[in-house]
Amino acid sequence: MCDTFVASPRVTAGECMILAKNSDREPNEAQNITFVPAMTHPPKSILRCTYIDIPQVEHTHAVLLSRPYWMFGGEMGVNEYGVAIGNEAVFTKEPYHKKNNALLGMDILRIALERSISAKQAWNIIIELIHAHGQGGVHTMGGIKYYHNSFLIADAEEAYILETAGNHWALKQVYNIASISNCLTIEDDYDEISRGLEEYARQKGYAKKGTSFNFQRDFGDSLITHFARGKIRAQCTYGRMLGNKRGITSLNMMNILRDHNTEGEYHPGKKPMERICLHAGGLVSSQTTGSMVAVLKKGYPPLVFMTGTSAPCMSLFKPHTLLRKQDEYNKNELTVARDDDCIDLYGAAAEKYDNKTLWWIGEQVHRRILMKYNSLIPKISGIRDAYEKQMLHDVERLWHAKKEKELQNACSRYGESSLNHTRAMSDSIQKEYNIATIKREVPFWYDLQWRLNNIKAHISI
């Protein structure tokens, strides 16, 4: 499960577009911060996606992704032109394409970023990809999950919600704030729909006689959507944005991603599906494995904050930017053509523990704190918040001043220091974890589930 939300320049403090997302996947499904350089491709090139090959275009743009390690695509990302996209699993009445011979929603997201220079162009590309190649296949590491996709797409000036059901779709432009989750949200307030959509819905019996067409009601699978709790989480993120009357900031969006949507103390395992920052446990097999906040403004390079680790409630957001410059082809690409498919910036984490990768170092912090959450979270939150406050001050000051080279250097410096900071947090929590001899603050079954996850990952906690 996931949550994606956006605030337009009308309601943000710096008149920016800010898009944020939590990506929820399996506990051991590492997610890497991945840079894909701009490239020029030979004629008739073929693009290898997760399951299928499709024709490649001549030029692709530089992209920064939060990418599950085993797939071609990404859960969320931003390109060098300042187009940002997050996608959501949605459950509909249309049959799911269960064979691995179509594009994953995450593949579609990456391809749209690599080929678009605006939000409008991105949603058009997504529609073309779905019609040409279909969406489907197994969407999880070693799992059997199938779903359709919705997308929140933004650039510096415009934002759109694009929701799909098989090859069918509905589109709605966002003017102030919007939030999507694991449910269809577009009702009869769409701006565009796929050709013949209403007639198709009535032919299939989705839209009943005597009722007006409503995409959410007529195409949504109400049973699975109910248990996914997407409506509850979307209401929470929307309400949190609505409450920032002085203008929404990047820090506001980070804090919403960290929200557990609960009054009083948070207790792991209690109503997990209603949490924005989601931790696996009980009947819930997924958790927040990566988070992103993208800040976009016309005339400025995109400023992107990603955790590169799970559990934003105990993670640092790391700053990145994408600077465009002329290349030898004079096509305004970020770099000259390269053979690299992608570069994992903090190590290539996979499904097994690796102490050289950011994601698994973060998991040492996450899994220890989770067992004694209310005792251990104060040990890192104050230090983390102070570090992050200084980071935001430094990089946003340079970004607003358009000091691009200094900004790039600051992002690199904070990226390196944040890795060291995460290692230090891991060491500190390990000491606290060993000193604290009181029993764990979670039920036995919750402890057992995580012990099994740790065994599978070969991680010692």
Does 327 or 92 have the greater pLDDT score? Answer: 92
Average pLDDT value for residue range 130-140: 91
Q: What does the alpha-carbon distance between residue 171 and residue 247 come to, in Å, rounded to a whole number?
A: 26
Average of per-residue pLDDT values in the chain = 90
pLDDT of amino acid 329: 35
- pLDDT band with cut points at 50, 70 and 90 for residue 331: very low
Q: What does the alpha-carbon distance between residue 417 and residue 82 come to, in Å, rounded to a whole number?
A: 26
Residue of 324, 8, 306, 333 whose CA lies nearest to 156: 8
Whether the CB-CB separation of 16 and 343 falls below 8 Å is answered with no
- What token pair was written down for 417? 């220091």
Residue of 314, 311, 222 whose CA lies nearest to 275: 311
Does 331 or 223 have the greater pLDDT score? Answer: 223
pLDDT digits (tens, 9 = 90+) for 428-447: 888 777 765 556 788 888 98
The lowest-confidence range among 155-164, 192-201, 333-342, 409-418 is 333-342
pLDDT of amino acid 325: 61
- The full length of the chain comes to 461
Whether the CB-CB separation of 207 and 170 falls below 8 Å is answered with no
- pLDDT band with cut points at 50, 70 and 90 for residue 332: very low
pLDDT digits (tens, 9 = 90+) for 353-392: 999 999 999 999 999 999 999 889 998 888 899 999 999 9
The superfamily (CATH) of domain 2-352 is Penicillin V Acylase; Chain A (3.60.60.10)
**Percentage of the chain with pLDDT > 90?**
72
- pLDDT band with cut points at 50, 70 and 90 for residue 65: very high
CB atoms within 10 A of CB 229: 21
The one-character DSSP state at 220 is: B
First and final CA of the chain: distance in angstroms?
Answer: 26
pLDDT of amino acid 203: 94
H or E element in which residue 303 lies: strand 303-306
What angle (nearest 5°) sits at the alpha carbon of residue 321, between those of residues 315 and 326? 160
Active-site positions read: 2
H or E element in which residue 33 lies: strand 31-36
pTM: 0.94
- pLDDT band with cut points at 50, 70 and 90 for residue 334: very low
Task: Give backbone dihedrals phi and psi of 117, rounded to 5 degrees, phi first.
Answer: -120, 5
The one-character DSSP state at 103 is: B
Give me the helices (H) in 141-212, please.
197-204
The lowest-confidence range among 33-42, 139-148, 203-212, 422-431 is 139-148
Whether the CB-CB separation of 177 and 163 falls below 8 Å is answered with no
Q: Which residue has the tokens 């969006």?
A: 253
Q: Please report, for residues 26, 134, 356, 448, the alpha-carbon distance to residue 49 in angstroms, rounded to integers and kept in the order given.
A: 21, 13, 27, 37
Q: Which amino acid is at 375?
A: S
pLDDT digits (tens, 9 = 90+) for 227-270: 778 889 899 999 999 998 789 999 999 999 999 988 888 888 77
- DSSP calls for 73-126: S-SEEEETTS-EEEEEEE-BSSPP--SS-SB-HHHHHHHHHHH-SSHHHHHHHH
pLDDT of amino acid 431: 79
pLDDT of amino acid 89: 92
pLDDT digits (tens, 9 = 90+) for 335-353: 333 335 679 999 999 999 9
Strands 192-193 and 177-180, sheet pairing: unpaired
**Which of 111-120, 257-266, 417-426 has the highest average model confidence (pLDDT)?**
111-120
pLDDT digits (tens, 9 = 90+) for 272-303: 778 899 998 877 788 999 999 999 999 999 99
